[in-house]
């Protein structure tokens, strides 16, 4: 289901606007609105389809709910430090797919007011949200991973779903990465009754493994307050956890690409439920109907806060570019970003025709944030005029 700003029967060019959020400034819905306004200012006859995008991380739930035109439900649960919080979830219009965004319950921004607790932070709240989604009767659970405050290997998610992680004496271990250092077995008898009856899909924006120098603890632990000693402890704890998961489920997860996302959450969900790990941008694109929207597009405008070397590794613009390349129409793809750091050659190689920054010339951060929407609209008008021959 798409959001269209003009009459679908318009004879003008069809422009698909599919941006990610500009974090710290505008969400993806607001970015899409600003870009659409610019396109229509330059080309009033254009048919503009707005499809707010995400890469599977923070903002994915809002993008999907907006595209599907469904409400977001609220659930009282706990944050990554065990404090009361309210998280959101949604279901597709047909009720078959439930969406859980890890950042909503267990995200880093929600605990930014507290001292970092890298060994104790957990994902139990996300598991409780997933349980609510299962109770809604969905056939598929889409878990959007990103922005995690913890490194607990997904043990917290399993706990929120009713599982128990036990030590050698049969005592339940504490939440967080600290508990993984003692875990010896996994008790799944208390799992939500529908947890193994549905399909699980995991949207990730990284390909890191669970452990090692490119693993969850080493790469992302420091962002969550982990010092060198904490990183070493967590890496060993995750390795122990992987051994338990592999022994008790028969599924190998230790070197699974993407298992290190969100503090290792995919390891648990792949091992226990056979979850599919997918590129978040591709999964969101499919869910919001991007391939269908591109079938007759004349121009595609995407974007994000910073368009850099990481953008071609599974971020939203990369997903949009790949979808456009696969479309029969092969529409040109243009990026509008807060800043453009990717070299032009790399940009073209990734399927992006051109990239424009809204921060042309010296500009303070506060000023840029305050005028992001205005500059997006102005830049989009310029892009549309150039690309569609109206200026």
What is the Cα–Cα distance from 31 to 16, expressed in whole angstroms? 13
Q: What's the pLDDT tens digit per position in 316-358?
A: 899 999 999 999 999 999 999 988 999 999 989 999 999 999 9
Query: What residue spans define the domains of the chain?
Result: 3-51+293-388, 60-281
| Cα distance between the two ends of the chain | 32
CA atoms within 13 A on the CB side of 275: 30
**CATH class of the domain defined by 3-51+293-388:** alpha beta
Strands (E), the chain: 3-4, 14-17, 47-50, 73-78, 84-91, 97-101, 140-144, 164-166, 185-187, 199-204, 276-279, 299-307, 333-340, 354-357
Q: What's the pLDDT tens digit per position in 131-183?
A: 999 999 999 999 999 889 999 999 999 999 999 999 999 999 999 999 999 99
Cβ–Cβ under 8 Å, residues 60 and 203: yes
Report the chain's C-alpha Rg in angstroms: 21
Confidence of residue 255 (pLDDT cuts 50, 70, 90): confident
What is the Cα–Cα distance from 49 to 285, expressed in whole angstroms? 14
Q: Selecting from 3.40.47.10, 3.90.1510.10, 1.20.1250.20, 3.40.50.2300, what CATH number does the domain 60-281 have? A: 3.90.1510.10
Whether the pLDDT of residue 267 is over 70: the answer is yes
Q: Which of 313, 360, 278, 316 is nearest to 17 (CA)?
A: 316
Cβ–Cβ under 8 Å, residues 274 and 251: yes
Stronger pLDDT, 23 or 388, i.e. the higher one = 388
Angle between helices 60-68 and 280-288 (to 10 degrees): 20
What single DSSP character describes residue 57?
S
């Amino acid at each position: 289901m798409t959001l269209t700003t003009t009459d679908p029967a318009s004879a003008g060019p069809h422009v698909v606007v599919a941006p990610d959020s500009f974090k710290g400034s505008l969400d993806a819905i607001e970015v899409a609105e600003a870009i659409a306004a610019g396109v229509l200012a330059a080309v009033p006859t254009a048919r503009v389809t707005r499809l707010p995008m995400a890469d599977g991380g923070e903002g994915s739930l809002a993008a999907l709910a907006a595209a599907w035109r469904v409400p977001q439900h609220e659930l009282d649960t706990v944050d990554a430090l065990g404090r009361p919080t309210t998280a959101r979830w949604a279901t597709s219009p047909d009720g078959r797919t439930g969406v859980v965004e890890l950042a909503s319950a267990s995200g880093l921004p929600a605990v930014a007011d507290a001292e970092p607790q890298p060994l104790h932070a957990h994902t139990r709240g996300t598991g409780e949200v997933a349980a609510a989604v299962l109770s809604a009767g969905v056939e598929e659970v889409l878990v959007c991973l990103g922005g995690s405050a913890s490194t607990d290997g997904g043990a917290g998610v399993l706990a929120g779903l009713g599982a128990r992680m036990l030590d050698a004496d049969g005592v339940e271990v504490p939440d967080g990465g600290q508990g993984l250092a003692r875990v010896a077995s996994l008790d799944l008898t208390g799992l939500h009754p529908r947890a193994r009856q549905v399909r699980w899909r995991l949207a990730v924006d990284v390909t890191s493994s669970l452990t090692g120098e490119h693993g969850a603890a080493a790469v992302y632990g420091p962002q969550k307050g982990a010092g060198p000693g904490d990183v070493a402890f967590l890496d060993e704890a995750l390795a122990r956890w992987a051994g338990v998961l592999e022994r008790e489920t028969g599924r190998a997860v230790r070197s699974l690409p993407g298992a290190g996302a969100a503090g290792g959450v995919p390891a648990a969900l792949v091992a226990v439920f056979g979850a599919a790990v997918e590129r978040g941008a591709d999964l969101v694109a499919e869910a919001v109907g991007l391939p269908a929207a591109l079938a007759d597009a004349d121009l595609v405008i995407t974007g994000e806060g910073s368009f850099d070397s990481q953008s071609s590794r599974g971020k939203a613009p990369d997903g949009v570019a790949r979808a456009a390349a696969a479309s029969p129409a092969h529409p040109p793809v243009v990026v509008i970003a807060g800043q453009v750091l990717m070299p032009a050659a790399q940009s073209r190689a990734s399927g992006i025709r051109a990239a424009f920054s809204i921060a042309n010339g010296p500009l303070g951060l506060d000023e840029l944030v305050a005028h992001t929407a205005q500059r997006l609209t102005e830049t989009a008008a310029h892009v549309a005029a150039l690309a569609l021959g109206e200026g």
